[in-house]
Chains A and B, each alone.
Chain A
Amino acid sequence: MRGRNATPAIPDPTIPPRSRARPRDRRCILASATLILSSSPPEGHGGNAAMMGSEVAFGFDSPPETEEMESLALSDAPPTVSSLPAAISASSDGDLFISPPSALHFPLSSTASGDGGDPAPSTASSFLDPPSYADIVFSPFDSQNGDDDNGADNGSMLRRDSSPRSTRAARSDYLKISVSDPNKEQETVNSLVPGGGTYFTYLITSQMRFGSAANGDGESEPVEFSVRRRFRDVVTLADRLAEGYRGFCIPPRPDKSVVESQVMQKNEFVEQRRSALEKYLWRLAEHPVIGMSDELRVFLQAKGKLPLPTTTDVASRMLDGAVRLPKQLFGEGAAAQVAPQEVVQPAKGGRDLLRIFKELKQAVTIEWGGVKPLLVEEDKEFLAKKEKMQDLELQLSTASQQAEALVNAQQDVGETMGEMGLAFIKLAKFETDQGIYNSQRIRATDTKNVATAAVKASRLYRELNAQTVKHLDTLHEYLGLMLAVNNAFSERASALLTVQTLMSDLTTLNIRIDKLEAASSKIFGGDRSRLRKVEELRETIKVTEDAKSCAIREYERIKENNRNELDRLDQERKDDFLSMLKGFVINQVGYSEKVANVWATVAEETSSYARGNS
């Protein structure tokens, strides 16, 4: 009678089923759970109430704040009621994962019972007092809040609207970005790996704030663009952005999955990736520079195949690569050919090998040789900032771990409270059925009251937890962003290394010219071959000088980008942290008050038992 059957009877929608089964999975779920919340635009056309979304969305469909919450002096904007229906209508456009919010309870509770095979709710109600039970589960706050789900969603929308993130989103050029409708497609070139022949494309719908730049009419109605992209295209976009925006903190792209292709076919995986992509695109759009980039616009708007070059290394360089090689790096022997644009790119694989070796040698010389490079990082302010960022990263990583532990512990309390409530419900039912004596019936009633309160409290804990996850996710997010910061820093370092290499080349060249000149001056009338050599070297120096100044300009540009980005991040982080703390605290206050009320009622009801000892 008790045990397995009963556990799913508390629909547990805020917690994805997997997280119950495997606690270690929680992190990714917590993270992905919040994806939707923070990534969907405040205007509410996220269109993302798919599976992951619904799990979380449920957490917000009962009032996170009622009278107590409102009594707190909130400086939030008035709720945008209109946004809610928008969210719902956007979410119900035929996606197979989508079900209307009101219908979420049962599907979810059965999912929680393990692969949906268990007709859990009916089993549960067959041995439990049905009316009272339903009462507990489905309308626990009737007494406190006459209104239904609407009020709740407004509450959460309201908070979301006031967050700095969404104000940034509001500044973005994009009104809407949504990733939906994952579609399995067949690879045209057959793969040797079984199951590797298929991939998923996602429908990416976006809307610019001020018409589309494509038709050149800034005042026109916002045009909606729909393109289909696969994950590989996203990788391309990320690569192009990394190339084109060195020194910026480019939001990190979702990881390439290392799972097997069979796993990739799973809905769960696809959905996780879908929401991750959406969140990623929103982050890009919110970035003040990248949000306005051509690359992003092309990615979002260009019809058909993505026109961005997949890799500059293979595609474009194979053809004219030989011509555009930075010859000065081969040494003095090769014909001088300027390719300054090359030095503005960090050296990477393929035919850049020579340069890589050179720069590596340079790095080693600086590192181990004790040779003072000609140009050093001397921006004290930057170095201090960098150190601060490293410290921040460390603390962020600890804090996000602890936040996760806290969320897990909070969830455990809620769950255990719920399970205990359930055990008491059964006990109460048993006592009622077997009741012979009056005292027994009184006890059964008391037990039921406590049980009901425990289940209510458990539900509140869960809702609180969903909110806590949402707020503390800022920590995770910034930890992820630290990767971007580190990338920006390493771009700077590599640009510096290029400059250093070129400068040391120049020194070498000059020394050689000096030597040659010295040698030729000993011969009266000059040594023609030596003089020719000197001429050649002078030519190389000229080219290298050009490359150097180009590299220095790039370095300066990156430095500038770094600085701007750090300033921007500092400000945004302050805002985001503040809103995180505020959100966290407000929720704690609100829900704790509710929990306190629930228990205070029971304490009042049972006060007759505590004679003269309170």
Chain B
Amino acid sequence: MSALGGGGGALRNASTALAISSTESFAGTPSCHTKRVRRPPGSFYWLHAVTPAPPLDTTTLKQLVFVSDYAESMIPPEIGPQKSSSQSPRSPSGAPFLSISVTDPVKLGNGVQAYISYRVITKTNLPEFQGPEKIVIRRYSDFVWLHDKLADKYKGIFIPPLPEKSAVEKFRFSAEFIEMRRQALDIFVNRIASHPELKQSEDLKTFLEEDEEAMERIRSFETGIFKKPADLLQMFKDVQTKVTDVVLGKEKPVEETDPEYEKLKHYIFGLEDHLTETQKQAVRLVKRHRELGQSLSEFGKAIKLLGACEGDSLGKVFAELGSKSELLSIKLQKEAHNLLMNFEEPLKDYVRCVQSIKDSFSHRANAFRLHCELTETTKLKEINLEKLNLMRSDKTREAEIEYRELKAESEEATRRFETIIKRMNEEIVRFQEQKTAEMGLAFHLFAKGQAKLANDIADAWRNVLTKIEAYSLSSGHD
């Protein structure tokens, strides 16, 4: 880490500088270092956002054995649009790729300390990476770290969402929950790896390549010492602005009034409502499938016993019906599981994505407020400076430095705000395309699963029907 003068600058301009760094969430001196260091590459990334990313090799993605139907096919459609837009005559074999799989969840520790660790396998031919394959062990909180880092640095980008923090304690270590989380984490890192900007992130590289101790060190270094002050400063700053607002009694244009943006917000909030509802129903549908499976199995048992009362060949027909009921019960349970993984989970992910968009709304609102404040203050300083100039005060020089700094700061804030807008505009298109592909797939798997289930049911009963008819004939009934 190189200590540049920038950090001192931030300290010097007490309130305004703090405002900058805190809204940036890089608050505190050390993060200012990072900021200074990172800025040039930041703009470099920014350029990258416009440049189409090199296509990933889809064939390699299929090597991921552990990934479920849904998870597996998440990636190709996502890459699809980019690939088509940036498709070059280059041969696909030489194309750069980066594919990650999250596998082998293992429970470590005991009691409340217990957690699940995953093996994160990276396969790539990108020169920035250490080698073609790297395996590290990560736990959920490491993924959270990566997410938060990206959320801090790439404001305006819809950071791929993480699965929920923790389920009900009872289910925390259930196989199903672990598998769902593993799948969701897999999707999370692969989304980052396929995102044109995010995949260039240093943090992703750290996450994928650092050994466990190093990872631990980095995390404790950041979260332990610097993260909390940032939060405090943010809070302090928020209170301060509020107080200022009240004291000065000025109505500030805190919210953007761009009608397009308003519409987007309206859309996202509405979408969240609708999705929450559908997801709720999907959860219930899974439950209903399980219950039906359960009832069918018990019905089958009861029918078998009843058939035993009848004895003769009619009893056999009953027994047949009973066994088929029990068989179908298993199929229903299986389909319930498929529904959960391939349909309910994507819907839940959809909801999470929408929430991640909402996060970027608040980043945008913060950036906008800062931009407005600084523009305002800069104007005041400019007027003040002009006054001083006229008065030929000896404070002029000092004021001018202050003004310049503030102006730079303001321009930076404006640029950041504009970056967010630009990113969001791109991201929303990405989001829509991605979700169309993902939901299309989820719908497909759902329909396929339901069709298969219904066909299985029909087949099983048809089988019984032939037995019934054979019985009818043999016993001379009908």
Main secondary structure of the interface of B (DSSP, over half): helix
Report B346-362 CB contacts with A as 1/0, cut-off 8 Å.
00000000000000000
One of A256-264, A301-309, A391-399, A538-546 at the interface: A391-399
Contact, CB under 8 Å: A423 / B309:
no
Assess whether A563 is interfacial by the CB under 8 Å rule: no
Assess whether A412 is interfacial by the CB under 8 Å rule: yes
* Residues of chain A from 331 to 359 with CB closer than 8 A to chain B in the complex: none
Report B28-49 CB contacts with A as 1/0, cut-off 8 Å.
0000000000000000000000
One of B121-129, B213-221, B296-304 at the interface: B296-304
Assess whether A510 is interfacial by the CB under 8 Å rule: no
Assess whether A582 is interfacial by the CB under 8 Å rule: yes
Contact, CB under 8 Å: B317 / A578:
yes
Assess whether B451 is interfacial by the CB under 8 Å rule: yes
Assess whether A419 is interfacial by the CB under 8 Å rule: yes
- A416 contacts across to B, CB distance below 8 A: 281, 284-285, 288
Contact, CB under 8 Å: B285 / A427:
no
- In-complex Cβ contact of B270 among A410, A434, A577 (8 A): A434
Report A572-614 CB contacts with B as 1/0, cut-off 8 Å.
0111011001101110110011011111111100111111111
Given A443-B439, A588-B458, also A606-B447 (CB < 8 A): yes
Assess whether A405 is interfacial by the CB under 8 Å rule: yes
- A593 contacts across to B, CB distance below 8 A: 454-455, 458
Contact, CB under 8 Å: B295 / A430:
no
- B454 contacts across to A, CB distance below 8 A: 592-593, 595-596, 599
Main secondary structure of the interface of A (DSSP, over half): helix
Closest to B325 in A: A406
- In-complex Cβ contact of A420 among B77, B263, B285, B317 (8 A): B285
- A328 contacts across to B, CB distance below 8 A: none
The smallest beta-carbon distance between B20 and chain A, in angstroms, is 34
* Residues of chain B from 424 to 478 with CB closer than 8 A to chain A in the complex: 428-429, 432-433, 435-437, 439-441, 443-448, 450-452, 454-455, 457-458, 461-462, 464-465, 468-469, 471-472, 475, 477-478
Assess whether A442 is interfacial by the CB under 8 Å rule: yes
Assess whether B384 is interfacial by the CB under 8 Å rule: no
Assess whether A208 is interfacial by the CB under 8 Å rule: no
Assess whether B72 is interfacial by the CB under 8 Å rule: yes
Distance between Cα atoms of A398 and B318 in the complex (Å): 14
Given A75-B469, A609-B437, also A395-B314 (CB < 8 A): no
- In-complex Cβ contact of A586 among B302, B447, B465 (8 A): B465
- In-complex Cβ contact of A603 among B439, B447, B478 (8 A): B447
Assess whether A403 is interfacial by the CB under 8 Å rule: yes
One of A227-235, A286-294, A363-371, A445-453 at the interface: A445-453
One of B110-118, B175-183, B272-280, B406-414 at the interface: B272-280
- A584 contacts across to B, CB distance below 8 A: 321
The smallest beta-carbon distance between A263 and chain B, in angstroms, is 32
Given A402-B295, A589-B458, A593-B454, also A423-B281 (CB < 8 A): yes
Assess whether B294 is interfacial by the CB under 8 Å rule: yes
- B433 contacts across to A, CB distance below 8 A: 437, 439
* Residues of chain A from 437 to 490 with CB closer than 8 A to chain B in the complex: 437, 439-440, 442-443, 446-447, 449-450, 453, 457, 475
- B444 contacts across to A, CB distance below 8 A: 602-603, 606-607, 609-610
The smallest beta-carbon distance between A384 and chain B, in angstroms, is 12
Assess whether A128 is interfacial by the CB under 8 Å rule: no
Distance between Cα atoms of A606 and B441 in the complex (Å): 7
Assess whether A133 is interfacial by the CB under 8 Å rule: no
* Residues of chain B from 313 to 349 with CB closer than 8 A to chain A in the complex: 314, 317-318, 321
Distance between Cα atoms of A373 and B35 in the complex (Å): 106
Given A399-B305, A574-B314, also A409-B295 (CB < 8 A): yes
Distance between Cα atoms of A416 and B277 in the complex (Å): 12
- A423 contacts across to B, CB distance below 8 A: 274, 277-278, 280-281
- A439 contacts across to B, CB distance below 8 A: 429, 432-433, 435-436
Contact, CB under 8 Å: A409 / B294:
yes
Between A424, A578, A600, the greatest number of chain B beta carbons within 10 A of the residue's beta carbon is seen for A578
Contact, CB under 8 Å: A427 / B440:
no
- A475 contacts across to B, CB distance below 8 A: 306
Given A446-B443, A588-B458, also A399-B288 (CB < 8 A): no
Distance between Cα atoms of A8 and B444 in the complex (Å): 28
- In-complex Cβ contact of A578 among B80, B428, B429, B472 (8 A): B472
- A522 contacts across to B, CB distance below 8 A: none
Assess whether B6 is interfacial by the CB under 8 Å rule: no
Contact, CB under 8 Å: B270 / A430:
yes
Assess whether A72 is interfacial by the CB under 8 Å rule: yes
Distance between Cα atoms of A588 and B289 in the complex (Å): 16
Closest to A478 in B: B306
Assess whether B308 is interfacial by the CB under 8 Å rule: yes
- B152 contacts across to A, CB distance below 8 A: none
- B148 contacts across to A, CB distance below 8 A: none
Distance between Cα atoms of A608 and B303 in the complex (Å): 43
The smallest beta-carbon distance between B332 and chain A, in angstroms, is 9
- B478 contacts across to A, CB distance below 8 A: 75, 162, 578
Distance between Cα atoms of A612 and B441 in the complex (Å): 12
The smallest beta-carbon distance between A69 and chain B, in angstroms, is 11
Closest to B277 in A: A423
Given A588-B457, A609-B444, also A600-B451 (CB < 8 A): yes
Distance between Cα atoms of A588 and B471 in the complex (Å): 19
Contact, CB under 8 Å: B296 / A578:
no
Assess whether B292 is interfacial by the CB under 8 Å rule: yes
The smallest beta-carbon distance between B286 and chain A, in angstroms, is 9
- B448 contacts across to A, CB distance below 8 A: 599, 603, 610, 614
Assess whether B73 is interfacial by the CB under 8 Å rule: yes
* Residues of chain A from 419 to 435 with CB closer than 8 A to chain B in the complex: 419-420, 423-424, 426-427, 430-431, 434
Contact, CB under 8 Å: B468 / A585:
yes
Assess whether B267 is interfacial by the CB under 8 Å rule: yes
- B210 contacts across to A, CB distance below 8 A: none
- B388 contacts across to A, CB distance below 8 A: none
Given A395-B309, A416-B284, A608-B440, also A592-B461 (CB < 8 A): yes
The smallest beta-carbon distance between B101 and chain A, in angstroms, is 16
Distance between Cα atoms of A453 and B461 in the complex (Å): 23
- In-complex Cβ contact of B447 among A401, A403, A453 (8 A): A453
Contact, CB under 8 Å: A447 / B277:
no
Assess whether B376 is interfacial by the CB under 8 Å rule: no
- A405 contacts across to B, CB distance below 8 A: 295, 298-299
The smallest beta-carbon distance between A198 and chain B, in angstroms, is 43
Closest to B294 in A: A409
- In-complex Cβ contact of A581 among B318, B437, B445, B446 (8 A): B318
Contact, CB under 8 Å: A398 / B302:
yes
The smallest beta-carbon distance between B324 and chain A, in angstroms, is 9
- A72 contacts across to B, CB distance below 8 A: 462, 465
Contact, CB under 8 Å: B458 / A585:
no
- A427 contacts across to B, CB distance below 8 A: 274-275, 277-278
Assess whether B136 is interfacial by the CB under 8 Å rule: no
Closest to B266 in A: A434
Contact, CB under 8 Å: B443 / A609:
yes
The smallest beta-carbon distance between B318 and chain A, in angstroms, is 7
Assess whether A2 is interfacial by the CB under 8 Å rule: yes
Assess whether A73 is interfacial by the CB under 8 Å rule: yes
Assess whether B310 is interfacial by the CB under 8 Å rule: yes
Q: A398-B302, A613-B62 are in contact. List 9 more A-B contacts (CB 8 A).
A: A162-B478, A395-B302, A399-B303, A406-B296, A409-B292, A581-B464, A595-B454, A603-B447, A603-B451
User: Can you name 7 A-B pairs with beta carbons within 8 Å?
Assistant: A399-B306, A406-B292, A409-B288, A413-B289, A437-B428, A585-B465, A606-B443
Interface set of A (CB-CB < 8 Å, partner B): 2, 72-73, 75, 162, 388, 391-392, 395-396, 398-399, 401-403, 405-406, 408-410, 412-413, 416-417, 419-420, 423-424, 426-427, 430-431, 434, 437, 439-440, 442-443, 446-447, 449-450, 453, 457, 475, 573-575, 577-578, 581-582, 584-586, 588-589, 592-593, 595-603, 606-614
Interface pairs A-B: 6 shortest CB-CB: A609-B440, A596-B454, A606-B444, A420-B281, A599-B451, A602-B447
